[in-house]
Structure 1
Amino acid sequence: MNDHYEQKLLNEFVAENSDHLESIEPDLLAMERSGAKVSKDILNRVFRAIHSIKGSSGFFNLSVIMNLSHVMENLLMCFRDGVLFPDPDKIDALLCGVDKLRLMLNDVQASDKVSITDELDRINGYLSGTKGEIKKDTTKNKSNADSKETSGKSPDFLEALRIFELEDAFLHLEKETVKTTVASGMYVYAISAPNLPLSDLESYGQILFHDLDKESLISRLIYATAMESDLLCDFISLPQDKIILLEREKLLKALDDKSLAICKEKISPETDPKNQAIKDTQKDKEAGSGETIRVGADIIDRLMNLVGELVLARNQLKRELESIYFHDPKVRIVAQNLNTVTSKIQGKIMQMRLQPIGSLFHKLPRLIRDHGHRLLKKVDLNLEGEEVELDKSLVKSLFEPLAHLLQNAVVHGIENEEERKSLGKPEAGQIIVKAFKEGGLITLIISDDGCGIDPEKIALIFASGFSPASKPSADVSHKIGMEPIKNSIEKLGGTFDIDSVIGRGTTVKIRLPLTMTIIPSIIVGVRDKRFAIPQVNVTEIVNIKTGETGRRIEKVGKADVMRLRGKLLPLLKLSDALNIDRSVISSDGNGAVFDEVSEKTQDGLKSGQSEINVIVMRIGNNRMGLVVDNIFDTEEIVVKPISDYLKECKCYAGSTILGDGRVAMILDVAAIARICGFRFDEAGMEEAKERKAEEQSKKDVTSKPFIIFNNTHDDYFAVDLEGVSKIEKVGFKQVYRSGDMFFIDYIGKALPLLSLEKLFHGATELEEVNEYFVIIPKNEELRKGILVSQMPDAIHTDVEIKSYPSIPQCITGVAFIGHNLVRFLNLDETFRMSEEQQKYS
């Protein structure tokens, strides 16, 4: 076996057995809770995993791993046979064994140097008191097996092998080869395995006899290997009745005296006490074969990089085609097809990288258990949303900050039993970890019912070096405060909020993007520079028209603020944050210095002052406005790592290449606010609390992203962003009419259009404008688009949507956004209403 192939097998061994260890931990904790009433299914599941680790480690001659897993397997057999019961001490011993196995798998080459004396002594201590029972049980099994042998047919070697038509095999076996093989500890099997190449088996053992040439496929053979029978079945995907294990001692005796007497042991539940646990694994593997395959993470990462380059090429090609062949329908069809296929490939590759957050959640009960036992506190952990999927890199990076948060909750939040009783709380503290999708983001909520945090100290816990411990204690293993946790979350592109009520508990809310590889962003500009802002940070975009600046923008001390829906929003100029030399707002030279116009005057902006673009950003529970010169477009960008030369520039989260070939930096808005000394004062925090209380008091409040748009009658509408596939820009001449219906050419097909002008006002003609926008729903069964004359906008709002009996069924409700009454559309009902109108028109 060459070194490369052996290393590949070893990597598979580590990956598979690491998965086993991840699955064992929750089951061991379930066994601890159940005690003597433990489920046989759970016991068998743990036994199978440990047995698999033992068998495969023996194949690689990893003796330390094999010895530890063997002793753990013996303890599990005692549980299964009712000799011992899984109490907390014994489960703790098994968990320590799992930890040591994980340590050795992390550096499998050095595993033989790891000491397992403490683990062996502890487990053997439990087993030493049961030797009589184990010996008695073993003797009973042996006598049963002997009685079955003697009561059956004569154990003739040829008769044993006649099943596989291997009667002549014994005459061809070389005595010395077999002796050497048996002396090395290998098992000898008779196998009937059609369609199995010789080369596969030669890699993992020694073929003592076969009835075909090496170039052919094996039909029947005698095979020696270090693998146990159940592992061999799994390894070469054979059913159990295709393998016969030949007892080594009787095989050697037969070779010595030519008596041809040998004991056959068929792999069956009657002769193998482990099979009751192992057979379920075999069934699962047979049932699942062909449905899933194991693909290396490096291959998926490489595919992700390639699809990122494909997205960049798509963006550049799309821009070039639109500028040169915009009116050529054939080229547009090709471009749209390319765009669709690229988006689907991108989606599937990103889906491959997604991993259920349950793989992270399964590690948390052990953390809570260990901290609770150490501090003598009862703590119950409830997990919700384990099926929510997140990019695998984020799942991996989330463990450490989440572990610190849970440790803080147990150590500093949950009171001891006496305190909880005196406060009228249940003896066991409650910690809830919940995950759910919310508007293109993953939201994690970690809450406890402990003592809470003094509001005056909430700001303090984010100070560098702050320890939550009131006094030095050995119970606190990480006295790091919340600052590193918050920084870790922000590095992942997320936000971190904390809310606490003294005596009632603390709630931490974390918002994260689904992935950090390809993200939808808004491209903005300051002078001739281009920057990308991830859309997850943007709540809305406000355009302040010329002449409105004096009314909308004010000074509070030295800070610029904007009045937005009756509340003050702090403003930050991107040019100042990045120290870009600029004396004008617009690049065409017709703007004035922002400092001059930010002061409130009767005249507002000076003569010639251009409009101002404000991007409203969400940073935790707070909001701020980022002032930019230009807003260009929305684009899916591929995140590239920052060069080492720019590592100290904390304002940037990465870089990307735009569709026109320009390099743009991706802004880290939270870092910019922090660097610029933005402090959201107590008033702002109180306002956030009041807003939260108002939200909780409303019954029909929604907090979702919407596409908002208006038609030529200045009727404002909104649709749920999650139901929109894309927004297509088309020229007036690209909208075709047939009777009373309108169409566009979309991916080579005629896409019917719904005109809200016609639906709500009975208009039969389209207003001639330079360009229209078509909102295309995700639900392909609808097969229609909404024709919009004004550029749609994306907002994230938490307004109360009210419904009235008198409004049409296609409108779910209405709400005021800004000074405009907005009607929220139900796309399914809207299209149905349009079809009904078409029938009777």
Structure 2
Amino acid sequence: MIHNEEFINEFVEEAETHLQMVENGLLAMDEGSRDKENINNVFRSIHSIKGTAGFFGLEKIVELAHVMENILGELRNDKIEPTAEMVDLLLNGNDSLKEMVDDVFNSAGYDVDDLINNMTNILKGENVCDVSSKDEIITSVDTQELVTKISKAQLEQIEQAKKHGHYLYKVKIGINRDIGAKEISPVLFFKKIQSVGEIVDSYTDISDVESIDSVMDSDVYFSFVFTTVLEKNLLPIALDIDSDSVEELDFGEALNKEIQSSEKLEKSKSVNSSETTDDKEDALVINTGDTIVSDHETDVILDNNENNEVSDLILKKSSTTAVVEDSVRVHVSLLNDLLNLASEMVLGRNQLLRNIEEYRKSIVGLDAILQNIDRVTTELQEKIMQTRMQPVGNVFNKMPRVIRDLSKKLGKEVDLNIEGSHVELDKSIIESLSDPLTHLIRNAVDHGLETPDQRKKVNKSTVGQVDLKAYHESGYVHIDIIDDGAGIDSERIKKKAIDKGLINEVDLKNMNEQEILQLLMMPGFSTADQITDVSGRGVGMDVVKTNIEKLGGTIEIKTILGEGTTFRMILPLTLAIIPSLIVEVSQFKFALPQVNLQEMVRLKEGDESKKIEYVHNAQVLRLRGKLLPIVDLGEVLGLRSFKEKEVNKEFDGITRILVLKVGSKRFGLVVDSIYDEEEILVKPLPKYFKNCQCYSGVTIMGDGKTAMILDPEGIVNKASLRFMDEQVKASEAEVDDQLNELKELQNMLIFKCSGDETFGIDLSLVSRVEEITKNDIDKVGNKEYIQYRGDALRVVRPENYLPVSKKDHSPEKLYVIIPKLVKNPIGIIIEKIHDTMMTSIHLNQEDIKGRGLLGSTILNNKIVLLVNIYELFEMVSPEEYENESLKNRSGEKTILLAEDTPFFARLTKNYLEWAGYNVLLTENGEQALEVLKEKPVDLVLSDIQMPVMDGLDLVRSIRKNAKLNELPVIALTSMTSDKDKQLGMQAGFDYYEFKLDKASILYTLKKALSKEVK
């Protein structure tokens, strides 16, 4: 038998969920909502709490929920109108229910009499309908006497039940006999009752119960009056109780007799004997899957079905699915244990794969086993992590109440907008998020928003706006708290900081805008002129920052004076297992969280076009026209100086830089070597490392050695990196946003071959993917073939031609990529399909090079090699493609290619040069026009969507220029609809080509250069 405490805990968890729904519904009513469904939902939640609490004899909870139910019943029936006073009272009642539920074992000691009396007074002050209209329902009972026993709302409920052909029963169940002995929790039993009918009233006899612990051990009886469509012989089957527990009541004299004889009415308090109202749900709940059928819908059902059909249906359902649940409650400690075990399994998997690597080739079948272990371990770890993920709405849902109470206290009008409640975070992060988030919300209302009078003076709406948003970005969850208030005056911050002695004037002069705003996070700092009990006590913001950093996150501040402020919390999804990149400095290995990694840059010694420069004695790299601050990891960790690296005998002449992003800050981190990516188990730092800013934890790698986990934010602080002012960053961000909007997204197929590398191909180049077995492959000489659509199709393994790793094994199941847009298709054999994704490719052409590769990119925190299938096929059949190249050569012709996407630019440039053309490359139309002014060009190939100046404006400018208007211009785009083509031709293009169709493009080029225009 399940312990009593488990039943109580289940009730507490269920009640907490209902109470949160009640609070949300009441807040909606407070904002003026008259939505009937909202009131019904609040009523149902209170009704469920009252009913289940009755099982345990929690009288105080039942009494308070009962009178709240009375008020909600009158609201639902439009007998009274909601007022601010009423909503306040109901919210206070909900708070009291929360307190009693949280302290359920001592709930009997709570004093709720004042609340109950105040609620009763509200009902007394309303004009409730006369009960005399109910005489036809209960015919032989004195009306006034019955009012002292049963509320008028209950009489209405009984009347509706009779109209719909329901039966009325009194059911008496033993807590121990009918619930405990059958090992079903009271919460589930109450749900079962609600699934087949409607409770009119209930009572639990606890006269023999000494404490809540003895509820399940005592023969305590729970009695309830119940309406349902079930006949008397079916109800015991539906509820799984003895038939002698059910007694049918007459809608007239029998009802009066039974109810007056119940213990509840003999012991009822004065508050329950007053002329208050009580109403149950208008909806008769019939279990029809996920559907709740209302009264009028039930009426139709009963009219259109014979009684025996209804009985058969309900009998069948109650006997098979009455208590089927789609979820099960699991203790958090068990989930924590599972997570720890999964983490250790990941560590063991890493060690196994590393130590047994040399035997993969020599032992037949071993590699397939290792792959399966790898896959299952990863999936198991991911699924266990998912069980700990919870929506941020669990925290966000508490904020409307905070806003409401604060706005009333401060005399401000505030509108709260919540977005992204569905975004999920690890349970441990969610639990630690409530306090800092509440503090920031309080700050926004107290310090951020002006009073209505102040807002009027600056032509703002008297209603202040607070936005609470959660969203994913770069592998982190961002939570923004935005207000449209007065903003933060940086000059005032400076003055306060100096007055409090937190900083001297010399240091202050060297600080940028963001660093000044970060002073708000220093202990003891406050801009408030007057300390209040809301916020501004000089403590709190430093605690917020500390708490967020403990979670592995950061907090940023953005403000515009007079317009508002944004506090942004940037949090990791989880704290347990993270993908990382293993790097080495001075023969020490470190783990770098891949979520911070944007790209990798390799600098060759002597390359003047790309080198580390010095600006005010600080190292910077000019990367794509922007200065990137540089930090040498060995130097910041005190392992060596940068100059020592340059004179090191082991220095290979290549400087490796990892471009990292922390919030809105980007910087380059110099390391000696870059190893493989690895999922690592995060262990907390030992206490003697707590003050080391550069580390966030420690891990054990696959080779069994320990490695420190780098903290990019701490490295920024330790190195005292200086970034641009917020205004400059804001303008750059705006430009970047515009550029990102114009970037063409690519649908990529991500896959693996036999080696360790991950590859990507644009899906526009893929006709289909066929699943085969290794026995489907036939060999002719040293070439491999499969049967495809009745013909022999040659297939190749990319790892045999590309500069990547490969294994000699071959799993049973394989896949073949069938390409399109190539003259002589060849199938590409792969071993595993990872994913397909629509994304914008940031192409890195420097670090990973080789024929058949366009370069590399980072997708989902993994390095992906992008395959150039045209070059791959040239390597497979060099003679055939050599002849094809000679056919396409048109002498020394110069092509101007305008393409902003590096992936497409590299691919197109490659096959144009293969065909013998000289190629000039530009990123937008404006650059193309500048080149046309300076250099002779035979033809222009232009993308349509580009930043600064798009392809349509480029061709229009060319046609308007007298010197250039005869120049052949071909549109090269992925926008291939008839409408797009028509717009392009109207703008002045000579031809319109799909950018990945190599054969068609080369043919059109040849035709255009031969002056066969249009």
Q: What residue identity is the alignment partner of 1:144?
A: I
Corresponding residue to 1:39 among 35, 42, 62: 35
Q: Deviations over 1:463-521 (max 9, x none)?
A: 32222423334443664364333333333233332222122222333333322222111
Residue equivalent to 1:385: 420
SS of the aligned residue for 2:329 comes to coil
Q: Secondary structure at the match of 1:466?
A: coil
Q: Tell whether 2:593 aligns with 1:593.
A: no
User: CA separation in 2, counterparts of 1:235 and 1:701?
Assistant: 67
Q: Quick one: structure 1 residues 748 and 790, their matched pair in 2 at CA, closer, same or farther if it must change by over 3 Å?
A: farther
Partner-residue secondary structure (3-state), 1:451: coil
2:593 paired residue number? 534
Shift of 1:450: 1.9
Aligned to 1:215: none
CA distance in 1, matches of 2:605, 2:823: 32
Is the aligned partner of 1:740 residue 2:794? yes
Shift of 1:20: 0.9
1:336 aligns to what?
371
- Rounded Cα–Cα distance in structure 1 between residues aligned with 2:332 and 2:522: 37
Q: Which moved more, 1:358-367 or 1:480-489?
A: 480-489
Whose Rg is larger?
2
Q: What secondary structure, in the 3-state scheme, does the structure 2 residue paired with 1:94 have?
A: helix
| 104, 128, 132: which one aligns with 1:108 | 104
1:59 and 1:403, CA in 2 relative to 1: closer, same or farther beyond 3 A? same
Query: How far did 1:572 drift?
Result: 2.9
Instruction: Look up the SS of the partner of 1:419 in the other structure.
Output: helix
Q: What is the CA distance between 1:644 and its match in structure 2?
A: 4.3
Q: Is structure 2 residue 704 aligned with structure 1 residue 664?
A: no
Distance in 2 (CA, whole Å) between partners of 1:18 and 1:230 is: 26
- 1:147-202 CA-to-partner distances (Å, cap 9, x unmatched) read 6999xxxxxxxxxxxxxxxxxxxxxxxxxxxxxxxxxxxx85289xx999954479
Q: Deviations over 1:673-705 (max 9, x none)?
A: 32x262535x44343223123234547256999
Give the letter aligned to residue 732 of structure 2.
R
Q: 1:546 aligns with which of 593, 605, 609?
A: 605
Partner of 1:23: 21
Whole-angstrom CA distance in 2 between matches of 1:272 and 1:665: 64
Deviation string 1:109-150 (CA, Å, 9 cap, x unpaired) is: 3333444355345434423435x848x54x765872456999
Please say which of residues 557-566 and 684-693 is displaced more in the overlay: 557-566
Q: Which runs of 5+ in 2 are unaligned?
A: 144-169, 190-218, 250-254, 263-276, 292-320, 494-516, 751-758, 767-778, 786-792, 799-808, 839-849, 862-898, 912-920, 928-940, 946-972, 978-993, 1001-1014
Please list the CA deviations of residues 737-791 of structure 1 after superposition, one character each: whole Å capped at 9, or x if unmatched: 4353224877532222579xx978989899xxxxx9999441499xxxx996588
Supply the distance in 2 between the matched residues of 1:25 and 1:59 (Cα, whole angstroms).
24
Instruction: Indicate conservation of the 8 Å contact 1:526/1:630, yes or no.
Output: yes
1:274 aligns with 2:274: no
Match of 1:611 in 2: 654
TM-score (norm 1): 0.70
TM-superposed deviation, 1:203: 9.4
What does 1:142-221 align with in structure 2 at a 5 Å threshold?
144-146=137-139, 189=172, 198-200=181-183
CA drift at 1:28:
0.8
Q: Distance in 2 between matches of 1:661 and 1:231?
A: 67
Whether the 8 Å contact between 1:376 and 1:416 is mirrored in structure 2 is: yes
Deviation, 1:228, is: 4.5
> For the structure 1 residues 113 and 647, does the alpha-carbon distance in structure 2 shift closer, same or farther, using more than 3 Å as the test?
farther
Against the structure 1 CA distance between its residues 252 and 64, is the aligned structure 2 distance closer, same or farther, given a 3 Å change threshold? closer
1:388-445 per-residue CA deviation (whole Å, 9 max, x = no partner) reads 3332332332222222222222222222222323323223222222223334332333
Q: What is residue 653 of structure 1 aligned with on the other side?
A: 696
Indicate how the Cα distance of structure 1 residues 510 and 289 shifts in structure 2: closer, same or farther if over 3 A, else same. Answer: same
Matched, 1:778 2:835: yes
> CA–CA distance in 2 between the matches of 1:346 and 1:836?
46
> In the superposition, relative to structure 1, how do residues 200 and 334 fare at CA in structure 2: closer, same or farther (>3 Å)?
closer
* Letter in structure 1 aligned against 2:795: M
| Kept in 1: contact 2:52–2:186 (CA 8 A) | no
2:554 pairs with 1:511: no
Contact 1:545–1:611 (Cα < 8 Å) also in 2 = yes
Q: Secondary structure at the match of 2:282?
A: helix
2:577 counterpart letter in structure 1 = I
Q: Aligned-pair distance for 1:95?
A: 1.4
Instruction: Report the Cα distance in structure 2 between the residues aligned to 1:198 and 1:614, rounded to whole angstroms.
Output: 68
Q: Displacement, 1:80? A: 2.7
**Secondary structure at the residue paired with 1:110?**
helix
**Aligned mates of 2:241, 2:285 — CA distance in 1:** 9
Select 1:404's aligned residue among 439, 463, 467.
Answer: 439
Q: Give yes or no for contact 2:238–2:322 (8 Å, CA) kept in 1.
A: no
Distance in 1, Cα, partners of 2:90 & 2:655? 65
Identity %: 34
C-alpha distance in 2 between matches for 1:431 and 1:706:
37
Whether the 8 Å CA contact 1:463–1:481 is kept in 2: the answer is: no
19-28 or 363-372: bigger deviation: 363-372
Partner of 2:410: 375
1:571 aligns to 2:634 (yes or no): no
**Partner secondary structure for residue 3 of structure 2:** helix
For the structure 1 residues 298 and 706, does the alpha-carbon distance in structure 2 shift closer, same or farther, using more than 3 Å as the test? farther
- Name the aligned partner's letter for residue 472 of structure 1: I
| Aligned counterparts of 1:815 and 1:345: Cα–Cα separation in 2 | 47
- Please, which of 680, 693, 706 is the counterpart of residue 734 of structure 2? 693
Alignment of 1:325 with 2:360, yes or no, is yes
Call closer, same or farther: CA 1:124–1:644 in 2, change over 3 Å: farther
Partner residue of 1:68 out of 58, 64, 69: 64
Q: Residue 380 of structure 1 contacts residue 430 of structure 1 at CA under 8 Å; is this kept in 2?
A: yes
Separation of aligned partners in 1, 2:429 and 2:185: 41
The one-letter code matched in structure 2 to 1:568 is: L
Which runs of 5 or more structure 1 residues have no equivalent in the other structure? 151-186, 206-222, 256-270, 586-591, 598-604, 710-715, 724-732, 767-771
Secondary structure of the 1:778 match is strand
Residue type of the alignment partner of 2:94: V
Written as runs of structure 1 = structure 2, the 5 A alignment for 1:425-824 is: 425-456=460-491, 457=493, 458-476=517-535, 479-480=538-539, 482-548=541-607, 552-579=611-638, 581-582=639-640, 593-594=644-645, 610-674=653-717, 676=718, 678-680=720-722, 683-698=724-739, 700-701=741-742, 737-738=784-785, 740-743=794-797, 747-752=811-816, 776-779=833-836, 789=853, 792-794=856-858, 801=901
User: Using the alignment, how far apart are the partners of 1:513 and 1:701 within structure 2?
Assistant: 29
Mean alpha-carbon deviation: is it higher for 64-73 or for 738-747?
738-747
Q: Aligned partners of 1:306 and 1:593: how far apart in 2?
A: 43
Q: Which residue of 391, 395, 407 corresponds with 1:360?
A: 395
Alpha-carbon separation, structure 2, partners of 1:54 and 1:832: 67
Which residue number corresponds to residue 212 of structure 2? none
Q: 1:498 is paired with a residue of what secondary structure?
A: strand
Say if 1:432 and 1:446, in contact at 8 Å, map to a contact too: yes
User: CA separation in 1, counterparts of 2:733 and 2:466?
Assistant: 21
**Separation in structure 1 between the aligned mates of residue 19 and residue 12 of structure 2, nearest angstrom:** 10
Q: 1:608 to 1:282 in 2, by over 3 A?
A: closer
Could you tell me how far 1:93 is from its partner in structure 2?
1.5
| Stretch of structure 1 that moved more, 424-433 or 121-130 | 121-130
Q: CA deviation at 1:633?
A: 1.4
- 2:917 paired residue number: none
- SS of aligned partner of 2:93: helix
Counterpart of 2:370, as a letter, is: A
What residue in structure 2 maps to residue 602 of structure 1? none
Aligned partners of 1:330, 1:822: CA distance in 2, in Å? 51
The answer to whether the 8 Å contact 1:368/1:379 transfers is yes
How far apart are residue 8 of structure 1 and its match? 0.9
